[in-house]
Structure 1
Amino acid sequence: MNKQRGFSLIELIIVVVILSLLAVTALPRFVNISEQAEDASVEGVAGGFAAAVGLVRAQWEIEGRPTGNQALITMDLTQIRVNEFGFPTAGTGGANAGTNLTPSQMTANACKSVFDGIMQSPVRSVTSGNSANNVRYYISVRSGAGQTDNNVAYDLCVYHLVATLKLDSNTGIPQGSVDLSTGNSFTYNPATGQVQVYSNNF
């Protein structure tokens, strides 16, 4: 009769050690891939946003640089509010109400209105102080952090990728201070139209 033998204990231990070594060397590569995907995601959305800002500015030029505190341009049958520099803004009562906000009057809600208004298919977002569960972008404003011109400090709209923030498990609000050194984000300067990407590992 032929005896069938299984693996010995030593052979099993050797196989487990080899698999452990493979897992240890492969794991950092998978972590790096997820970080690269997060970077690419922010860069893609920021690129689309920057292109939309450029199109709004070009349409403003084409329409003869409309001015005033209720200046609008029309793109694809959509009316978009613009500030005195021809860049997208929001109204004092939201995207379509009130007078246009200047670059030094931006709020988180105004930054969200710009984001939702100029993007063809805006991703789900929420403004600072609200739960970021089940959304992709967390929107805040940095008052006076933009370009200074004639002693006027302009505001910056900040759009953080939620997947790169640490959320409170109870409230869904990001933990700690959410600034440009936290997570992956991009900024929009309504005075210059500049869009800048920030990538940080947390």
Structure 2
Amino acid sequence: MTQYPNRQTGLSLIELVIVVVVVSILAVVVVPRYIDIAEEAKVAALQGMAGSFSTAVLSARAQWEADGKPGTQSRNWVNYDGTLFNLTAAKTGGREGYPFALQGQGSSQLGQLSEQDCLTLMDNLLQNPPPSTTDASEAGSGQYQYFVEVGAISDNRFCRYYQLASASDFWTGKKAITAGHYFTYIPALGRVDIKIDRNI
């Protein structure tokens, strides 16, 4: 009669404990790094988009300069890549030659800047604009990258572009679309500012 040595077919309790400890240590080290990497990717994406937007704004202004500053004392315009834009006019505390609306389809005065003007700026200044919306009820649907709204600081109206990927849900399950990273375009100053919210 042939005898076979005892064969172990499973893990011993000590081996199982060691596996659990190793997996736990890896989870503690790897998961926070993954979360940091994902957050930094969102920040980099926003910075890239704001940089592209700023470059397009400056390019439109440069085209206006190259064309000999077409317009009048109260209204400037430029044909930028086949699209006519209304530009800011000279006024106290402001700068001239920055796009704020489509000519003939948008606001004719900077003081009338609307959310639709801000949306059409994004769609027409950029070569590959991200899907964006002005409708708060659609913003959380997952098909848009930016939520667009208009506001004012010291009588200077501005466009604000909220990055929806960084919108916080504050652990409620419902996204607060204006709680996250964003960039702001202030046409009267020709300036693009970025706001990174580290509290999300």
**Same topology, TM > 0.5:** yes
How far apart are residue 109 of structure 1 and its match? 1.3
Partners of 1:3 and 1:98 lie apart in 2 by 84
Residue 75 of structure 1 aligns with an amino acid whose one-letter code is: Y
Partners of 2:163 and 2:36 lie apart in 1 by 17
Residue 158 of structure 2 aligns with an amino acid whose one-letter code is: L
Please tell me whether residue 86 in structure 1 is matched to residue 97 in structure 2: yes
Q: Tell me if the contact between 2:107 and 2:117 (Cα under 8 Å) persists in the aligned partners.
A: no
Residue 98 of structure 2 aligns with an amino acid whose one-letter code is: F
Please tell me whether residue 74 in structure 1 is matched to residue 79 in structure 2: yes
Q: How many residues align?
A: 184
Residue by residue over 1:50-80, the C-alpha shift from the partner in whole angstroms, topping out at 9 and shown as x without a partner, is 0000001111111122234664312233323
> Which structure's relative contact order is higher, taking Cα pairs within 8 Å and 6+ residues apart?
1
Please tell me whether residue 3 in structure 1 is matched to residue 6 in structure 2: yes
Secondary structure of 1:57's aligned partner: helix
Q: Using a 3 Å threshold, how does the CA distance of structure 1 residues 106 and 118 change in structure 2: closer, same or farther?
A: same
Higher Rg: 2
Match of 2:120 among 93, 113, 116: 113
TM-score (norm 2): 0.82
Which runs of structure 2 are paired with 1:1-80 in the superposition (5 Å)?
Answer: 1-5=4-8, 6-68=10-72, 71-80=76-85
Q: Using a 3 Å threshold, how does the CA distance of structure 1 residues 131 and 18 change in structure 2: closer, same or farther?
A: same
Residue 118 of structure 1 aligns with an amino acid whose one-letter code is: L
Partners of 1:70 and 1:130 lie apart in 2 by 35
Identity within the alignment, %: 33
Superposed structure 1 runs of 4+ greater than 3 Å apart: 68-71
Secondary structure of 1:73's aligned partner: strand
Q: Tell me if the contact between 2:183 and 2:193 (Cα under 8 Å) persists in the aligned partners.
A: yes
